[in-house]
Structure 1
Amino acid sequence: MSHPGNDTSATVPRAAAWADDGEIPPPAWGRRDRRRIPLPWAFLLVVAALIVGKPLLSPYLTGPALQTWATIFVAICVQALPFLVFGVTLSAAIAAFVPASFWTRALPKRPAVAVPVASMAGAVLPGCECASVPVASGLMSRGVAPSAALAFLLAAPAINPVVMVATAVAFPNEPMMVVARFVASLVVAVLAGWIWLRFGRTDWIRVPKHAHAESKFTAFLAAMRHDLLHAGGFLVVGGMAAATLNVVVPREWLDSVAGIPWLAVLTLALLAVLLSICSEADAFVAASMGGFSPTAKLAFLVVGPMVDLKLIALQIGTFGKAFALRFVPLTFTLAVLVSALMGWVLL
């Protein structure tokens, strides 16, 4: 067995593996190495916090506010979990078993035409935000125009079937929310791709080289395990934030923000960036934000899968800081403006 420091296969990502085509993005591109996370220490800290905090919090555990908070939090997580599991499993299977050559054969050669085609591909091929970055990088390294690869990066986590079904379940009496989310996300992906095609420069984006892939089945299991834990953690954080927003923040404050249309849209758009919730689960969090207009909730749903903290970090690590400094503001601006327009027209 070779020494870990000299084994290049140890740097293969667990996010995607396209055997037969050989090379895939390195591990640091989509997922962090679990060996760097001090899980035992984190577990001990959580246990210690629970032991110390229980005597302090026990008098308040039966309060009506806490019961309301727990009800909202559990409802969000229970509703979202099946879609999260299914979406992560399907995304990992596509990343591991679909060869990269499929994309180069399926996409048109003309970049201007390839952009909308790549965006529409996201409607039939589920992919989480974490996997979309290394997939897009892999496409670029195989000759796909960066504009088309970036359009797919934005569209895949936002308009895939799992996300659309989850949105329909979260908004059972608002079918136009599903239509508005699909149209707005698709428009943003196409516009971002076309703008990058027109104004983007090659020295603004770094296309990393690829390393040889691990086995398909190993990549599938590792990707599914990682994405489920990773996305599940963000779902818990998002559910806690939404429950806290509904219970702790005074209703007058929410009404004052929600009563100003442009401020409500901007507030939920920024909240989507900060919460970084998986796209398979964000609709349930948005639906729980009572008081905000459908247009503001639409902005939350469109911005989240395209611009959040984890995606920004992944894009910087994969394509470079010069790329992220230009692409992130572009995507955020387009997402907010298109959401506001689609909300006004459709909602």
Structure 2
Amino acid sequence: MQQLATVWAVFQGLLLEAIPFLLIGVAISSVAMAWDPRGKWLQKLPQGALMGPLSGALLGFALPACECGNVPVTRRMIAVGAPLGTALGFLFAAPVLNPVVLLSTWAAFPDKPWLLLLRPAGSVLIALLLSGLLQLLSESDLLNGELLAERNLSQPLAKFSLLERRSGLIGEPIAQTKLVNQANRDGDFQAIQLLSHGVNEFLELGSLLLLGCGLAALIQTLIPRDLFLLLGQAPTLSIISAMLLALVVSVCSSVDAFLALGFAEQITPGALLAFLLLGPVIDLKSVSLLSRVFTWPALALVLAGVCLIVLVLGQALNLVLL
């Protein structure tokens, strides 16, 4: 019974922490749909292996959403035909570059200026490398089937045939067509269609968030956090243990710096940086949400890629500071 009570308490904590940011992300996605229903502005975002991810990452400075809130915004960007590199750069870097996270990192570690610099810089580097890696895949191998179908509807007919579009009007997603028709018909676009879109998005992603929080709470209870810190001073093993801890605790990037403050002196600098870089990209809580963006093989590639990048960055920092 004690373990069950602990699972429930951890589950509640994770859920209450994540829900506000998911709401923010859904709200931003809904507002974007109202302001630019056909995605013409988003389609004009910068492209290219460098400028695409960088521009997406920089959007994070204006949006106070963590990794939970970034998923609905990213799905909206991809669905309306925004450049993939830009959308992926936003997804991977914005959870660290948003002002709430930057301020919380500064508040938790004012005595570690190197961390205040390396955390956002490392996040941008991760976004650049992961975006480049994932774009080596075809869109059909990379994107969730439902999201891919929505994206295909926004592409020119010369690029995708009617059969590849599956359904809908040429060059215009079904949902967007209905929204435009409704707006022209009775002017209730803002009040009715935005609410409908937001509620459906929140319920869909919220159910996945419940699953992720439940899994994270269960594993946290079965595997004590202290177990991951036993190898805190070993240069390489400390990084690996901190990465495993980041995956398991699944805390939002807006507060992870304060959690890390509690064990920062027990681990190496590289392990501390690894903990603060890995969690905002992927953890047990966000896996289910990210499955609404990527196929499972692509999601496995994201996990492997970010783990390798973070391990190298942490090891390099240990070589310099230890």
TM-score range, shorter chain: 0.5 to 0.7
The answer for the alignment partner of 1:263 in structure 2 is: 237
- 1:122 counterpart SS class: helix
The answer for the alignment partner of 1:324 in structure 2 is: 299
Whether contact under 8 Å (1:126, 1:160) holds in the other structure is yes
Alignment TM-score, normalising by the size of structure 2: 0.66
For residues 163-218 of structure 1, what are the alpha-carbon distances to aligned partners after superposition, in whole Å with 9 as ceiling and x for unaligned? 11111122232233222111111111111112333x22233123344574864467
| Alignment of 1:138 onto 2:76 | yes
The answer for the alignment partner of 1:204 in structure 2 is: 141
The answer for the alignment partner of 1:10 in structure 2 is: none
Deviation at 1:269, TM superposition (A): 0.6
Alignment RMSD, CA only?
Answer: 4.3
Whether contact under 8 Å (1:115, 1:151) holds in the other structure is yes
Rounded to whole Å, the distance in 2 between the matches of 1:141 and 1:135 is 10
Whether contact under 8 Å (2:85, 2:132) holds in the other structure is yes
Rounded to whole Å, the distance in 2 between the matches of 1:270 and 1:140 is 30
The answer for the alignment partner of 1:305 in structure 2 is: 280
Rounded to whole Å, the distance in 2 between the matches of 1:323 and 1:85 is 26
- 1:192 counterpart SS class: helix
1:210-229 map, 5 Å: 210=150, 212=175, 215-216=193-194, 223=202
Rounded to whole Å, the distance in 1 between the matches of 2:48 and 2:56 is 12
The answer for the alignment partner of 1:282 in structure 2 is: 256
1:24-173 map, 5 Å: 49=1, 90-99=24-33, 101=39, 104=42, 107-110=45-48, 112-173=50-111
For residues 195-247 of structure 1, what are the alpha-carbon distances to aligned partners after superposition, in whole Å with 9 as ceiling and x for unaligned? 333x22233123344574864467668959969x969x68x959x87xx646x
Rounded to whole Å, the distance in 1 between the matches of 2:125 and 2:310 is 9
Deviation at 1:118, TM superposition (A): 1.1
Rounded to whole Å, the distance in 2 between the matches of 1:292 and 1:320 is 35
Please, which of 113, 122, 125 is the counterpart of residue 175 of structure 1? 113
Rounded to whole Å, the distance in 2 between the matches of 1:311 and 1:137 is 14
Q: Which amino acid aligns with 2:31?
A: F
Residues 1:218 and 1:144: Cα distance change in structure 2 (over 3 Å): closer
Q: Which amino acid aligns with 1:138?
A: R
- 2:62 counterpart SS class: coil
Deviation at 1:84, TM superposition (A): 7.3
Deviation at 1:299, TM superposition (A): 0.3
Whether contact under 8 Å (1:120, 1:186) holds in the other structure is no
Q: Which amino acid aligns with 2:269?
A: P
Q: Which amino acid aligns with 2:313?
A: V
Residues 1:162 and 1:342: Cα distance change in structure 2 (over 3 Å): farther
Q: Which amino acid aligns with 2:241?
A: T
Rounded to whole Å, the distance in 2 between the matches of 1:334 and 1:129 is 18
Rounded to whole Å, the distance in 2 between the matches of 1:343 and 1:92 is 39
Residues 1:277 and 1:178: Cα distance change in structure 2 (over 3 Å): same
Contiguous gaps of at least 5 residues in structure 2: 151-173, 180-191
Contiguous gaps of at least 5 residues in structure 1: 1-48, 55-72
Deviation at 1:254, TM superposition (A): 4.5
Whether contact under 8 Å (1:151, 1:193) holds in the other structure is yes
Deviation at 1:112, TM superposition (A): 4.3
The answer for the alignment partner of 1:27 in structure 2 is: none
Rounded to whole Å, the distance in 2 between the matches of 1:119 and 1:237 is 30
For residues 39-74 of structure 1, what are the alpha-carbon distances to aligned partners after superposition, in whole Å with 9 as ceiling and x for unaligned? xxxxxxxxxx47x999xxxxxxxxxxxxxxxxxx9x
| Alignment of 1:295 onto 2:229 | no
The answer for the alignment partner of 2:183 in structure 1 is: none
Deviation at 1:343, TM superposition (A): 5.9
Rounded to whole Å, the distance in 2 between the matches of 1:316 and 1:86 is 20
